[in-house]
Every structure is written in structure tokens, then in C-alpha cells.
């Protein structure tokens, strides 16, 4: 398997795991009965969304033709 295929597979797995965390954090946020727990769940949601965005950015950078030519 080539490196790009391996990376795609890893990013797919990472996004699946982050998606599970996100869904559960959103559920906790919606079901929380007090502001402290809602706030904690909201922080998790925000962090997971940021992590997903970062993973997407890394994947895009790695898949772009410019990154292939810069490797020398």
C-alpha cells in the first residue's frame, strides 16, 4: 500500500473516532441539567470540531500536488 492510501485510512479512522466523541458530547450538552456540565460538554464539542478541522487541513496539505514536489 502506498503512503497516501495509508494516510487516508488513518484519517478516516480518526474522523470516525472524533465523530463518536462529538455525538456523545452533543448528547451530554443537550441532556445536562446544570450549566457547569453543559459548559464542559460544549468545550468538548468545540475541541472535537477544531480537531476535525485540523485533521482535514493536514489531509488536504498532504494530498495536494505542491506537497509532493516539495519533498524533493
Residue 48 lies in a domain: yes
Residue 33 φ then ψ, to 5°: -95, -10
pLDDT means over runs of 10, the chain (72 residues): 85 96 98 98 98 94 68 47
The whole-number pLDDT of residue 4 equals: 81
Predicted pLDDT of residue 5:
87
- Residue range of the domain that includes 59: 15-63
The pLDDT tens digits for 7-22 are 899 999 999 999 999 9
Retrieve residue 16's grid coordinates: 470516525
Cα(26)–Cα(28) distance, integer angstroms: 5
49 domain residue, yes or no:
yes
Q: Residue 8 domain-assigned? A: no
Counted domains in the chain: 1
Q: How far is CA 53 from CA 14, 31, 49, 64, in A?
A: 12, 26, 6, 16
Amino acid at each position: 500500500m502506498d503512503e497516501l492510501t495509508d494516510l487516508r485510512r488513518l484519517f478516516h479512522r480518526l474522523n470516525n473516532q472524533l465523530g463518536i466523541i462529538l455525538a456523545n458530547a452533543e448528547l451530554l450538552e443537550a441532556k445536562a441539567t446544570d450549566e457547569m456540565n453543559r459548559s464542559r460538554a460544549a468545550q468538548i464539542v468545540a475541541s472535537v470540531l477544531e480537531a476535525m478541522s485540523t485533521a482535514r487541513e493536514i489531509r488536504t496539505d498532504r494530498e495536494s500536488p505542491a506537497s509532493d514536489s516539495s519533498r524533493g
